[in-house]
Structure 1
Amino acid sequence: MADRTNPHPGAAGRAPTADQPSSVRNVVLVGHSGSGKTTLVEALALATGATTRAGRVEDGGTISDHDEIEHRQHRSVQLSLVPVEWNGIKINLLDAPGYADFVGELRAGLRAADAALFVVSAADGVDGATRMVWEECAAVRMPRAVVVTHLEAARADFDEMLRVCREVFGGDNPEAVLPLYLPAYGAPGGDGQSPVTGLLGLLSQRVFDYSSGERLERDPDDDQAALIADARDRLIEGIIAESEDESLMDRYLGGEALDMKTLVTDLERAVARGTFHPVLGAAPAANGARQGLGTVELLELITGGFPTPPEGRLPEVTTPNGRPRPALTCDPQGPLAAEVIKTTSDPYVGRISLVRVFSGTLRPDQTVHVSGHGLATRGHEDHDVDERLGTLSSPFGKQQRAVAKCVAGDICTVAKLTRAETGDTLSDKDDPLLVEPWEMPDPLLPVAIEAHSKADEDKLSQGLARLVAEDPTMRLEQNQDTHQVVLWCLGEAHVDVLLDRLRSRYGVQVDTVPHRVSLRETFGARAGGRGRHVKQSGGHGQYAICEIEVEPLPGGGGFEFVDKVVGGAVPRQFIPSVEKGVRAQLARGVAAGYPVVDVRVTLLDGKAHSVDSSDAAFQTAGALALREAAAGTVIHMLEPVAEVGVLVPDEYVGPVMSDLSGRRGRVLGTEPATPGRTLVRAEVPEIEISRYAVDLRSLSHGTGRFRRAYARHEPMPPQLAVRVRETAAER
C-alpha cells in the first residue's frame, strides 16, 4: 500500500511456502460471471513471477484449465486456488465461480479466506447476487476491497462505477467506500476513446504510468494534480473517520499536514477491521508486459491491509460427540484442526482434498482423525475414522507442487484421503475435533434420473457416492414413495455439471425423467367391501372371506384398524393377517398407485375353512376387500403442500405475490426482514414449485431466495386429480 516501485516477486516454478501464520494472506475473489476474476488472478500471478506468460505456468498449461468441464461449458464451475508470493508473503488467491448455481463453491471460498476482493466490471455494473454476498460478509465483518476491472473496455466508466459501488456497498456510510487510486488517461485514439495508461496515487500524489509496459513513477501534471487534490481530501477524511486516534480530525481541520505513514497505518487498520473498503482499478497486461495496470497496487493492499490468519475469525470446535472445546488459536504448535474445503477427483491421482488449516501443522504421512457430521440429510453419512495423509502439495493449474508442511492459517491439497469429504474435519487422532460447518445453500431444484443401460445401473451408486463426497450443496434422495433417484440441485447449470461429471469422470450415463411428487390417496366417504379368496386346484386349497368397512379420518389421522368380528367368524389368528393385507394394499394405493392415508378400516365379518384357510389367504382377502370398497366410493388425491418463505428486495414483492397466487398458493402475509428486503410467507402445492428455484431467480434478477418445508397433504383439485390418474394408468 506504500506505492513501492521495485517489489521482489516470487519465482516461477517454485511453490510459495509459509513457515508462520503471519506470512500468509487468504483472499477470495467474488463477483458475477464475466467480471474478470480469473483474468485478474492470472494478472496477479504474472506480476508476482509465478507465471512466465499471461495465464500460463511453466509446463505450458494455463492457471485455470484444470477442469475439462469448465472448457466444455465455457464458465468457471468450481473454486480454484492459486498461491503466489509477494515481498515474502504467501498469498492464497481463491477464485470463486460467479454463476449463481455454484454459490456453494463461493461459500467454501469465504470459509477458507480471511478477506474478500469484490471484482466488478466497469462496463457491466454490480448485480444483485454480488450485493447479497457483500451483505453476508458485512454481517461477519469480513475485510473487503473492491477492484474495478475492464477499464480498457469501450463502455467502461470508472467514475460511474465508483458511484454505484459507494451506493450499493456503502449503505448508510458511503464514505467508507473510496478509491485509493484514480485512472490516468492518455490522448484519445482514432475511435475517440482515451485509453487508461496508469493510476493516480491519492496518498502518494504520484502517477504510476503503465503505458510503456512497465510500471514507472512520475510527478502528476497540472490537470492530474487537480484531480488528485480533490479526491485526496475526501479519502483522508474517510480514513480519519475510521481512525482510532480521535485527535487526527482536529489536527487535520486545523490545517496540519498529516504524514503519509500515519495515514497508511490507519488505512490498513481500518481495512483489516472491515470498516473501510478501498476501491482500485485494474486492467490486464498488454503488449507482453509483466505487470498489468493496478496489479502492484493490489498486491500491496493485500499484503499490507488485509488481515493475517491470526487476526481473522476462526470457527468454533467441539468434540465429535458434541462436547464443547476451548476456542481455537491460529498456532502452528496448537492442536490440529483443519477442514476439507473442497473435494475433487483426478483420473490419475484419485481423490484430492483442498484443506484449510486453522490450528496446528499438517505434515505428509501423518495419521489424522477424519470427522464428518451434520450432513446426513444430504446423503453424507456421519463418520469417524483415522486416515493416513498422502503427499501435501500446493496447486497451480494442473501442477501439484509438493510441500513439506502446511502451518496454521495456510491452505494446501492432500492426496488420497479416501474417506474425507467436503466439510469434514481433520484433527489429531488422539484428540479428535469437529469444526462447526459453514452455512451452505439448500438445493431446491429436483431432477429425477435413471440409468441409461444395465451397465450404467451397475456403476450408478458408486458414481453418485463420489458426487455426494465432492459437492455438499447437492442432496441425493432415494424416494420411497415414487421409487425415483432424485438429485436436488441449486439450478440448471448445477444439474448440467453434475450429469457431466457422472458421464465424463465416472463413466455413468443417465437419463433425466419427470420428477414426481409424493402424492397420497384417501377415501372421500364411508364404503364397504368384501374380499373373497377361494381356490381349489387339487391338494391344499386357499379359503378366506372378510367384510370390512372403510371410513375417512381427519387430515393427519393416519391409519386405524378396528376388529368387530363376533362369534369367531374370522379365527383370532387370522385377524392380524387381514390387517397386514389391508396395510399392504394401502401402501400400493387403490386409484393411481399412491399410498392411502387417513382411514379407519373395521373388520366386520368373514368366513374361514378348517383346512384351507391360511395367513396368506386372509392377507389376500383383506387386500381385495379394500379394493372393492375403493371401487364403490370417491377417492381423493392428496398433494403435498409446502410452507414457503421468499426473501426478496422490496421492489419485487408484488410480482412474487402475484406469481405465488398463480401457482395455487395462499399468501399468508409479509414482514420486513433486513433493510430493503421483505419476507413473503405462503403455502403452495409442491407440484407447483418444482422449478421455483429457477423461476424465482428470473423473476427477481438473481436477488431472491426462498426456503420450503413440508406442511401437510391436501385434496388436489378434481381436474388435476383426473390427469394424475390418467398419467398413472399410462405408466
Structure 2
Amino acid sequence: MVVDKPKGPRSIALVGPYSSGKTTLLEAILHICNETDRKGSVTAGTSCGDSSKEARERQMSVEVNTAHAHYLDDDFTILDCPGSIEFFQETENALTGVDAAVVVCEPDKDRVLTLSPLLKTLQERGLPTFIFVNKMDKAYGSVHDLFNSLQAVTDRALVLRQVPIFKDNIISGYVDLASERAYVYKEGEASRIIDLPPEMAEEEGTSRFAMLEKLADFDDHLMEELLEDIEPEREEIYALLQNDLREGLVTPVFLGSAENDSGVRRLLKALRHEVPAADVAATRAGFDAASDQPVAQILKTYMSSQGGKLSLARIWSGEIKDGDSFAIGRIGGIFRLQGAKSEKLDRAGPGEIVAFGRLDEARTGDVLMSDKTINSPAEAVLPPVYSIALVPEKRDDEVKLSAVLSKILEEDNSLRAEHKQETQELILWGQGEIHLNVALDRMRNKYGLNVKSRRPKVAYKEAIRKAATQHARYKKQSGGHGQFGDVHIEIKPLPRGSGFNFEEKIVGGSVPRQYIPAVEHGVKEYLAEGPLGFPVVDVSVTLFDGQFHSVDSSENSFRSAARIAMSEGMPKCDPVLLEPIYKVEISMPSEHTSKVNSIVSGRRGQILGFDARDGWEGWDVLVAMIPESEVHDLIVDLRSATLGVGTYRSEFDHLQELTGQYAEKVLQNRN
C-alpha cells in the first residue's frame, strides 16, 4: 500500500488549555524551521506571538497569533489560539479555516477534563486532530493512565503513537510505535536513533499491538492480519493512520517537551505526512478548491491604533492578487503574517492563510466572493456570560467611546455592547472578567481612551398589591391666565406581566376629551419612578371624574394634576419591589453537578430539573430560575467549581416580588 504525501500549503491550529505551552510549541517550531534566529520566550517577552501589550502583561494569549513555517518542502500557516476559556471565540473562529488542529496539553490526568469541550468542538467540526502531550520532562505517573484519562473525554479513538524511554526516572527519549524505532532526545537538536532498549521490548510490543487494534476497528484487512498473526507492512500502517485521521476516526497522541525541543520534529513529520491537503478542508466547508472563482473567509480582524485594518482570511479557491476586488471592496494589500511582522505578497492561492488590507466592510466569519458576501450567522458567536457598565473618565469622551467601541467589537466579535434603556447604562458583554479587562486595556493602550467600569445595575421594577382612588387638583394663579386641572383616578393592580393600562370613564364632559391624553401622559411620567424609586409595571389607571376651567385649564395643567394624583395615590396601594428572574440553563460535567447545585441554591435559585446533556456523555444540564442580581458573576463560581469548563445560557423569564432583608438592602442602596 503506497502512501501519497499531501501536497500544497496547509494550516494548523494550536489549541489547548491555558498554560499548556502552545506558544512555546510555536516558538520551537519556528526555530526548528529556521524562521527565527533564536527561540523566543513567553516569560521573557520575546516570543513571536503574544506581541500585544495586553498579552505581554498577562503572559498569556488573548487573541489568535499567526505565523508561517517552511519544513523540508512543505509550507504551513500556524494559528496559535488562546488557551483561556474566556477567549474561546478566537479559537472557534480560527478552526473554521484550518486543515488540522494540534491539541496541546500537560501530562496531568487530573486536568484532562479541561479538554472535553475543545475535543467535542473538534469532533463536531470533523477536523483532523492530533494531541501533543507537552512538558513530558516534568511528567509524573503512568503514560497509559494519562492516555486512558484522555480517551474518557472524547468519542474519537485515541492512538498512542509513542511510548517514553526512561533513564534514571527521567524521560530520555521515545519509541515510535508505527516505525518501531527508538530515539534519544538531544536538547536543541534532532533526536538520535538508537537500538531499542531490551527492557522496553515488552512494553513496546504491547503498546504497538494496542495501536494496531485501534486501527483494525476501521479496517477489515488489518483485522484479518492481526487474527492470523501476520505482521502488517509499515506502509499499510502509515496509510491507515493518514486515512483514519482524515476521516476523523482516530486522534494520534504524541509526547514531548516544547521547551526542550523534544518530540517537536516528530510532530512536524506527522503533520507533514498526515495532515490532509487543503482541498479536503475546502470540501468540508462547502467549497470547491479546484474552482477558479476567488473565495476567501475571514478568520480574524486586526485593528491598528491608527485605524488600519487587516482581515486574516483562508483562501478556499482561486488565485487572489493585490488590487483584486470582492463584492464588498478592493483589496489594499496582501500580507503574510509572522507574529507582529508582515510580509507583502503579490498574490495568494488556495489553502493559504493571508491578511487582506483595507477591506473596511469585511467582518470576522464573512465569506468573500467577487459577486456577493455571505455573512457569518449570529449563532456562530458564543453567548455572553459576564457584563460591566462603561463610563468614560471624561464626559467629553462619550462620542469617542462610541467610535472606539465599534473598533473593539469589530476586532473581537465575542464582545457585545448595548445601551440598557431600563437603567440608562452602556453595557459591555463578554466571556468573563479577564476578557472584558483586556477590552478596557485595548481602549487605553491602543486608542488612548480611559474608561471606568462598574457592576451593571439590576433592572428592578415595582408594582402594587391593592387598589385605591385618588383626587388631585393642580391650581396656579399668576398674572394673566392661570392653570387649573382636576382629576379623579382609580389605581388598580394587574396580573404579573400585563404591563400598563389606561382607561377613561368620563361622563358629561367633566374632563374635556382634548385633555384626556394629557392625563395619560402625566400618569406615564410618574410611573417612570414609583414610590420605591423604580419603574412601575402591571398597573391600571382609570380616569373617572374631574373638573376643568374654561379659561385656565390646559394640557399642562391636567398632566400636572395626573402626576399629583399618582404621587399621592400610589403609596396607598401597598407598593412592592419586583426583581427580574432569569431562566438559566447550566452545563457541567456530572462529577461536579452537586457543587453546582450548591452554587445555585446559594444564589437564591430555584432548581427546576436535571437532564443529561444531549450528545455529551458524562455531562448534565441543570435548569433553574435565578434572580438577575445573582446571575452577574455566576460564571466565576461555575468555572471555579468545574475546572473552567462549566457554562450557562440565560434569558429573562419573569418579574417576582422581593421582600424582607433583600428588598430592604436594595432600597437602601437606591437611596
TM-score, length-normalised on structure 1? Answer: 0.86
Please point out which of 337, 343, 358 is paired with 2:295: 337
2:496 to 549, 555, 568: 555
* Structure 2 equivalent of residue 372 of structure 1: none
CA gap of 1:162–1:411, structure 2 versus 1, over 3 A, is farther
What secondary structure sits across from 2:365 in the alignment? coil
Partner of 1:364: 322
Kindly provide the amino acid, as one letter, of the partner of residue 398 in structure 1.
Answer: A
Q: Which amino acid aligns with 1:535?
A: K
Residue 647 (structure 2) aligns with: 705
Distance 1:708 1:438, change over 3 A: closer
What does residue 16 of structure 2 align with?
31
Deviations 1:137-189 (CA, angstroms, capped at 9, x unpaired): 22333221111111222xx13x6244223333356878x32322223344x3x
1:151 aligns with 2:126: no
Q: 1:106 to 1:567 in 2, by over 3 A?
A: same
Write out per-residue CA displacement over residues 82-125 of structure 1, whole angstroms, 9 at most, x where no aligned residue. 12122332212111111121111121122222322111112575
Check 1:86–1:438 CA distance in 2 against 1; reply closer, same or farther (3 A cut). farther
Q: Decide whether aligned partners of structure 1 residues 652 and 177 sit closer, same or farther in structure 2, where only a CA change above 3 A counts.
A: same
- Decide whether the 8 Å contact of 2:147 with 2:160 is kept in 1: no
Secondary structure of the 1:487 match is strand
**1:548 offset after TM fit, Å?**
0.7
1:184 and 2:160 equivalent? Answer: no
**Distance change (3 Å), C-alpha of 1:366 and 1:216:** same
In the alignment, which of 160, 175, 183 is matched to residue 142 of structure 2?
160
Matched, 1:720 2:662: yes
1:15 aligned residue: none
Structure 1 counterpart of 2:233: 259
Match of 2:521 among 577, 580, 593: 580
C-alpha displacement of 1:198: 3.0
Contact 2:116 2:154 in 1 (8 A): no
SS at match of 1:632: helix
How far, CA to CA, are the matches of 1:348 and 1:535 in structure 2? Answer: 59
Question: Tell me, what secondary structure is at the counterpart of 1:661?
Answer: helix
Q: What's the offset of the Cα at 1:280?
A: 0.9
Name which of 542, 545, 569 aligns with 1:629. 569
For 1:495 and 1:223, locate their aligned partners in 2 and report how far apart those are by CA, in whole Å. 54
Shift of 1:65: 4.1
- Aligned ranges for residues 149-548 of structure 1 at < 5 Å? 149-153=134-138, 156-157=139-140, 160-169=142-151, 176-186=157-167, 188=168, 193-194=169-170, 196-211=171-186, 213-243=189-219, 246-284=220-258, 286=260, 292-312=261-281, 327-334=286-293, 336-347=294-305, 350-369=308-327, 386-428=328-370, 430-436=371-377, 439-548=380-489
Task: Tell me which amino acid in the other structure corresponds to 1:694.
Answer: V
The residue that corresponds to 2:32 in the other structure is: 47
Q: Which moved more, 1:476-485 or 1:718-727?
A: 718-727
Q: Aligned letter for 1:711?
A: D
CA contact (8 A) 1:337 1:433 kept: no
Distance 1:677 1:707, change over 3 A: same
1:68 paired residue among 53, 58, 62: 53
Q: CA deviation at 1:268?
A: 0.8
Counterparts of 1:446 and 1:489 in 2: how far apart (Å)?
A: 6
CA contact (8 A) 2:576 2:659 kept: no
Instruction: Deviation per CA, 1:431-463: give whole Å up to 9, x if none.
Output: 443455663321111211211112433421111
Distance 1:172 1:665, change over 3 A: closer
Contact preservation (8 Å) 1:481, 1:594: no
Alpha-carbon distance in structure 2 between the residues aligned to 1:520 and 1:639: 6
C-alpha separation in 2, matches of 1:64 and 1:505 = 18
3-state SS in 2 of match to 1:49:
coil
8 Å Cα contact 2:324/2:330 also seen in 1? yes
Aligned partners of 1:240 and 1:151: how far apart in 2? 29
> CA offset at residue 564 of structure 1?
1.0
> In the aligned structure 2, how far is the partner of 1:487 from the partner of 1:557?
30
Aligned-partner Cα distance in 1 for 2:40–2:125: 33
Unaligned runs of 5+ in 2: none
Read off the aligned partner of 1:72 and give its amino acid letter. E
Whole-Å separation in 2 of the counterparts to 1:504 and 1:140? 36
Shift in Å at residue 399 of structure 1? 0.9
Q: Secondary structure at the match of 2:147?
A: helix
Matched, 1:82 2:24: no
- Give % identity: 29
Deviation digits for residues 505-545 of structure 1 (CA, Å, limit 9, x no counterpart) = 11111112232111111122101223322212212322211
Match of 1:33, SS state, is coil
Cα deviation, 1:298-346, whole Å, max 9, x if unaligned, reads 1121122122232136577xxxxxxxxxx52223513x43222212222
Contact in 1 for aligned 2:301/2:411 (Cα 8 Å): yes
Aligned-partner Cα distance in 2 for 1:410–1:401: 14
1:568 CA displacement: 1.0
CA contact (8 A) 1:349 1:416 kept: no
Letter in 2 for 1:41: L
Cα distance, 1:88–1:205 mapped onto 2, change above 3 Å: same
2:224 match: secondary structure: helix
Are the aligned partners of 1:393 and 1:413 in contact in 2 as well (CA < 8 Å)?
yes
Q: Report the TM-score when normalising by structure 2.
A: 0.93
**Cα displacement (A) at 1:275:** 1.0
Deviation by residue 1:219-269 (Cα, 9 ceiling, x = unmatched): 3243344443332222222223233xx222222332323211111111111
Match of 1:100 among 63, 77, 85: 85
**2:160 and 2:252 in contact (8 A); partners too:** yes
**Cα distance in 1 between the residues matched to 2:320 and 2:498:** 56
Structure 1 vs Structure 2 CA RMSD: 2.5
Structure 1: gaps of 5 or more residues: 8-20, 287-291, 317-326, 370-385
Letter in 2 for 1:392: I
Question: Contact 1:111/1:438 (CA < 8 Å) preserved in 2?
Answer: no
Q: Return the alpha-carbon distance in structure 1 between the equivalents of residues 228 and 458 of structure 2.
A: 72
* Pair 1:622–1:337, CA change in 2 (3 A): farther
